[in-house]
Structure 1
Amino acid sequence: MPVQSPISISNREIDHKDDVEPLEYHGHWEPIGIARVQNTGTSAVVTFAKRKEQPFIIGGPLKNKYIFEQLHFHWAETDESGCEHTLEGITYAMEAHAVHYNSKYSNFNEAKNKPDGLAVVAFFIQACGEKDCPEFKKITEGIHIVEKPNTSASLDSDCLSWIGLQELSKHYYTYKGSLTTAPYFESVTWIIYRTPIYVSKGQVATFRNLQSCPKDANKKIVNNFPLITIFGGKCVYLVKKTEFLRW
């Protein structure tokens, strides 16, 4: 049964699942087409256009191909918290969500309320030191430009290459959950990577300059994540090892 997301994950309460197909990523950081980032007033959202085919994921806990819709970020006023999920009570500075919809449906809107409609891949992002992460800089260069809400900027078409810093084939948690914003449809297969991606403190701070109100520059987007109300038990599985394929 699906649960409401986000949840707190404890390794003492999960099951292990290693007999799964490889989780494959296709096209997420290919240098083709156009990438843009938009300040929506509630987050920073990355989308792609002018590609013959949108990126997609397949395999792992998924029974079908899931097509990329967008990637967005969650963060807080400080580096001590900002993620939606927690792992062993640990919080991270940010959490990024790559949202995908099931290819059996014609688009995201049709899929979003279906039990098998969505797959969201979550990446913890940790602020660490002053040295920028070169791959993540492809994102923050655009964030500097979209401080005002409802503005957008072009990004390098391979702006999600920082995802490839993660060991994408293993060490992820998966469970059946929900959207974390209204109307909270229980339609999401969550895939949450255990190891964070490390970026600089300055790169995380860049997101805190984004404004939530066009008429008040002092109103910033911060704490754009819900409180955890559920602790994950046996509904959560840890995948430790599968081969990773991508072409």
Structure 2
Amino acid sequence: MEVAARELREGAPHSTIVLAEEMTQGRGRRGSSWISPKDGNLYVTLILRASGEPSLNAYRRSQANFATPLAVARAVKDTEPTLNPMIRWPRAVEIGGHKVSGSLIEVHDEEGIEHFAVGIGINVNAEFCNNETFSQNVTSLRCASQKVIDRELLLAQVCSNLDELLETPPDDLQKQYLRWPSVTELDSEVSLLDKTSKQPIVDGKVHGITTSMDLVVEADNGSQIEVSEVGTITVFPKGRRYRAEL
């Protein structure tokens, strides 16, 4: 992400791709660390340079938020049809309850216009299968499919999907996001936990998602809570043991 951010500041054009074989200072949302072994995975940052008026910033931000996990989930399914990737709010992709992909979107402001560095990590050919440290939390496409996956083909599919989806209005992207199989789909039972203390806050059901990517939860106590991805709350399917994000 640091290299991509520098490239963006120095005027790199739209759709510039920055690839890495390994990340030694990977990070996730809210500055959490991201384990990024040198083991055949895919670590890519795409530069999305906007044009137009600052009034379109929220529109474009919404597009990027919804399009990114959809692009990854579709690419996984298209590359290996035997797999069934599911989205977990906001932008994680899971297979069989184990995380296989995450993404981070950084905003860079230039004279009031927001440009984006979209960092995507996908566990492709890492052999987590028999590693007790990782296997309880994450999986890879190779572990899930028992096949070696073509990383170049997967990357091309992600980029193609993202290009297509970013031409779609946010309202339509929101509908596509909600239609894709998800562990945090509408009416699913979830638990809200404090990210720092790992303590439960409240249980409830997913009621919806706003165009700004806030998750709306109807709590069991009758209140309605909007959970922001930049806040201190994390959301898991009810009954799933909390696992630190990797």
**TM-score category, normalised to shorter length:** under 0.3
Q: Which has the higher contact order (CA 8 A, sep 6+)?
A: 1
Higher strand fraction (1 or 2):
1
TM-score w.r.t. length of structure 1: 0.27
TM-score w.r.t. length of structure 2: 0.27
